Structure 1
Amino acid sequence: MRMKRYQIWMRMLRHCLSLKWYLLKLKHKRTKMTKNLLTLRLSTLMLTGTFLLSACSTVGKITDAINPFDGKNEASEVVTDPDRISILSLNDKLEVTGSLLPEDIILPEPYTNSDWPQSGGSATHAPQNTNAPGTLDRIWSKKLGKGSNRKGRVIASPVIAGGRLFAIDAANKVTALDAQTGSKLWTYKVKIQSKGKTRRGKKSLVDRIKSPLSLSDKGGSDKEAVGGGVAVADGRVFVTSGFGVIIALDAMSGEEIWRNKTRTPVHSAPAIDNGRLFAVTDDNELFAIDADTGETLWTYQAIVETARMLTAPSPAIIDDVVIAPFSSGEIIALRVQNGGILWQDALSATGNLTPLATLNDIAAGPVIADGYVFVSAQSGSLSAFDLRTGQRVWSQPAGSLGFPLVVGNFLYSITTEGELACMSKTDGTVIWLTQLQVFKKQKKRKKRISWTGPTMIGSRLLLLGSNGKSVEVNPQNGEILRTRKLGGDVYIAPIIANNTVYYVTDDAKVFALK
């Protein structure tokens, strides 16, 4: 009897020891996996810092790492998703292969545009050869409100319509100014009232399924959010916000007309055409909204991607097609009437790259011109697609954070490596390359510079930099014509209206040059 009890006891002890060994092994494995995962997340968060910001008071803890050009983005080895399809080899390098002479680069005549009503200048993001023939002397400047800080960032392009300039600051305050004088006309502060039904407030299982990535709060007035932008159409100012709302305001008075609550923050600037508004949320959901009533017409859910650049890319629209960019690297063409998919593709890179290059985000809106769709992903590629079929026409290793600029038969783009490139629109042949300054401290390779643009100002290309300088370049040969000091660091491309250049600095000052 004693022997039997002893055998049972020893058997139980062996099982316990085996279980303990297994748990220790599992714990070690999970710790290792967690460590690898944290390493990957931290390397990307050092550059993006956005991590699906929701309308709650946690933004201040993470937006201090938003800017990818803050001098902290030294190269490091990270793990990439092996399932992504690379469209370019890692050994590819942008090289001049064209044989055109400067005199062969003939551009269309510049024209004077009276408005710049949405991001990219129009619904197609193809303003062509806008004109600003003056010496670009400052005619006025105005403080909009809060500049970039730990709680929010200035990321949205200003817009102009009907002689008025509209812009949004880092604190989600919309300001209307007289475009000629800079006089303040009205302001509107985007606010929402949280009901405290997030995870900390015991959100229901159904709500968690509907909005699984929302952060938690205890209710009350939300004060911090990042993302969004403004657009103008038909006497209304449309505002998207990191608070998870899309709002229509009266352009003359600033009074609210309607608001549409999305499930997650909206990071894209609104795009508008023929009475329809399109915007993309942080969890890659495209909303189509009736611009008159604010009613949601349809939505499309793309692949959710948590890591993104802090930009405000907007969809591009032409006729019955909307081209939407997503942080997953997807580019999708849909019918504006019902959201039916016409074609889709993905831009991504693979291999051991810097953290910046491993993000698949399409950080700028696509450009539609002459039957082509031009898309630039910051991960390392610039591609041209056939508008109707989605067939890729050409690709170049020229990743960018900004819109490519199409002027006549040529395309201009600033790469993430600080190169300004002129290419053939039809086949992607590189005609010339100009290397811009990459670091503020070039010898020590510190404080990377972000260049925005290019924008045409008649016979010149205009670029603005986060080093507080502007550069004017000859569009025919890439020669740098002039470098000037700005009124502050700039991360947003300039806009043109009535032969005047407008830009917004990172500390939320708007400048007018003529």
Structure 2
Amino acid sequence: MGAGSGWAARGAGVLLRRTAVVAVAAALGGCSLWGGSGAKPVPADLGANVPVLGVRQAWTARVGTPVGTPLEVHAAGNTVTIASADGVVAAIDARTGGDVWRVSLAEPLAAGVGSDGRTAAVATRSNALVVLDAGRERWRQSLGAQVFTPPLVAGGRVFVLSADRTVTAFDASTGRKLWTQQRSGEALILRQAGVLRAVGDTLVVGLSGRMVGLNPDNGTVRWEAPIASPRGTNDVERLVELVGRTSREGDSVCARAFQATVGCVDTVRGGVVWTQAASGSEGIHGDEQTLFGTESNGVVTAWRRSDGTRTWTTERLKHRRLTAPLLLGRSVVVGDDSGLVHLLSRTDGSPLNRLPTDGSPIGAAPVVAADTLVVVTRNGAVYGFRPE
């Protein structure tokens, strides 16, 4: 059964300087989320849950202990690969919730997981890239800077986007460094996953507010497309970064620039198709017709992929900290900071169902594998849901 077939049938990043944390910048980032008043607005009551789309909890699992924020979840085939901040990396069979393999690296992690279905890669807080083969450490390499974006494992190589805006390629088998491409940028960066993905024979990377196409064989730049440009007079106001997740359909890749814009790029000619102002901090998702995103105030928005025209918005989840969305069949799936998973209609944002978890915030964007919706909470619980 194809991903989403059964479903169709029935926070803000912390800002860092290159060398040190800037506390005032983190505080300002919080103000941008909640309107600058210093008090979090109270979300509206959701009312009774009236399921329009039947969904059941199929299984639960755990990964690591509740230390920090859970890292990104990677889905490939029937397997989801998950890492915890305290160093546990697990590949879980989405059909059963059982482990395919699990390992504890016994050291804190900063980014992960990247995987091609067998080889998995994570970055530690001590700036080491660790590559695993079926749960066994294959090799590790020291990195020159912190990493917040999950490494990309593709084409027999491991690609890393570091916080100093350096892109590095390693041989996946041996760990040999193949090439490095470095780009200067603004003084501040986000402690948040950026853009790093393969599109055909091009490595697509977010560097500041630009989507950049690199030759994966040698790191040379093929094209650059600006999604957003720095504005303002100080470092905080001038911060501009592309954030994951992204939406790819053929040669079209669409992404969000933190608290600035949403836009789409034609990766063949390397040109911007359109951009629209949007004040969000999480990535976007969609298909060939529509893109979906969650704004920093909890408003969920849909845009027409062809030209960026806004097709609907809903304020039903306003003032709830939402994850990046997942388009799954007829549903747009988002998690919130109270541990609820919301299924909204892709056509108008109306509620289809609401799924409880353990009460801690949903800590990563939902994914789908083996027709199973997989979500991870901040407390390390993993849930698998299926359509009834």
Q: TM-score of the superposition, structure 1-length normalised?
A: 0.62
Are residues 167 and 52 of structure 1, via their aligned partners in 2, closer, same or farther at CA, if it must alter by over 3 Å? farther
Aligned length: 357
Residue 335 of structure 2 corresponds to: 464
**CA offsets 1:58-83 (integer angstroms, 9 cap, x no match):** x9x97xx699669985528xxxxxxx
Cα offset for 1:285? Answer: 0.5
1:236 aligns with 2:112: no
Cα offset for 1:366? Answer: 4.1
Residue 146 of structure 1 corresponds to: 65
Give the Cα–Cα distance (whole angstroms) in 1 for the partners of residues 13 and 306 of structure 2: 33
Contact 1:383 1:396 (C-alpha < 8 Å) held by counterparts: yes
Question: What fraction of aligned residue pairs are identical, expressed as a percent?
Answer: 22
**CA offsets 1:287-309 (integer angstroms, 9 cap, x no match):** 12222222221111112445333
Residue 325 of structure 2 corresponds to: 454
**CA offsets 1:129-179 (integer angstroms, 9 cap, x no match):** xxxx97332222223122244xxx32x222244644321111122133343
Residue 383 of structure 1 corresponds to: 263
Residue 286 of structure 2 corresponds to: 406
Q: Which amino acid aligns with 2:371?
A: N
Residue 216 of structure 1 corresponds to: none
Give the Cα–Cα distance (whole angstroms) in 2 for the partners of residues 321 and 510 of structure 1: 33
Are residues 482 and 301 of structure 1, via their aligned partners in 2, closer, same or farther at CA, if it must alter by over 3 Å? same
Residue 424 of structure 1 corresponds to: 304
Cα offset for 1:50? Answer: 4.5
1:329 aligns with 2:209: yes
Structure 1 gaps, min length 5: 1-45, 77-132, 192-222, 440-448
1:493 aligns with 2:374: no
Residue 250 of structure 2 corresponds to: 370
Say which structure is richer in helix: 1
Residue in structure 1 matching 2:192, options 301, 308, 311 = 311
- Per mean C-alpha deviation after superposition, the further-off stretch among 371-380 and 333-342 is 371-380
Contact 1:238 1:270 (C-alpha < 8 Å) held by counterparts: yes
Residue 11 of structure 1 corresponds to: none
**CA offsets 1:352-374 (integer angstroms, 9 cap, x no match):** 9996x753122224433232231
Give the Cα–Cα distance (whole angstroms) in 2 for the partners of residues 141 and 68 of structure 1: 34
Contact 1:473 1:481 (C-alpha < 8 Å) held by counterparts: yes
Residue 13 of structure 1 corresponds to: none
Give the Cα–Cα distance (whole angstroms) in 2 for the partners of residues 183 and 67 of structure 1: 42
Residue in structure 2 matching 1:474, options 339, 342, 345 = 345
Give the Cα–Cα distance (whole angstroms) in 1 for the partners of residues 73 and 297 of structure 2: 26
Contact 1:168 1:230 (C-alpha < 8 Å) held by counterparts: yes
Are residues 322 and 135 of structure 1, via their aligned partners in 2, closer, same or farther at CA, if it must alter by over 3 Å? same
Give the Cα–Cα distance (whole angstroms) in 2 for the partners of residues 303 and 354 of structure 1: 14
1:274 aligns with 2:155: yes
Contact 1:287 1:298 (C-alpha < 8 Å) held by counterparts: yes
Residue 36 of structure 2 corresponds to: 75
Give the Cα–Cα distance (whole angstroms) in 2 for the partners of residues 413 and 490 of structure 1: 16
Are residues 282 and 189 of structure 1, via their aligned partners in 2, closer, same or farther at CA, if it must alter by over 3 Å? farther
Task: State how 1:436-447 maps to structure 2 within 5 Å.
Answer: 436-439=316-319
Once superposed, what is the RMSD of the aligned Cα atoms?
A: 3.2
Give the Cα–Cα distance (whole angstroms) in 1 for the partners of residues 262 and 249 of structure 2: 15
1:506 aligns with 2:378: yes
Residue 297 of structure 1 corresponds to: 178
Q: TM-score of the superposition, structure 2-length normalised?
A: 0.81
Are residues 242 and 304 of structure 1, via their aligned partners in 2, closer, same or farther at CA, if it must alter by over 3 Å? farther
Are residues 290 and 47 of structure 1, via their aligned partners in 2, closer, same or farther at CA, if it must alter by over 3 Å? closer
Task: State how 1:150-169 maps to structure 2 within 5 Å.
Answer: 153-154=69-70, 156-161=71-76, 163-169=78-84
Structure 2 gaps, min length 5: 1-11, 38-51
Are residues 352 and 422 of structure 1, via their aligned partners in 2, closer, same or farther at CA, if it must alter by over 3 Å? farther
SS in 2 for 1:263: coil
Task: State how 1:328-367 maps to structure 2 within 5 Å.
Answer: 328-346=208-226, 347-348=228-229, 350-351=231-232, 359-367=239-247
Are residues 360 and 513 of structure 1, via their aligned partners in 2, closer, same or farther at CA, if it must alter by over 3 Å? same
Contact 1:315 1:365 (C-alpha < 8 Å) held by counterparts: no
SS in 2 for 1:309: strand
**CA offsets 1:418-465 (integer angstroms, 9 cap, x no match):** 3222222111111222224332xxxxxxxxx32123212222211111
Give the Cα–Cα distance (whole angstroms) in 2 for the partners of residues 499 and 395 of structure 1: 32
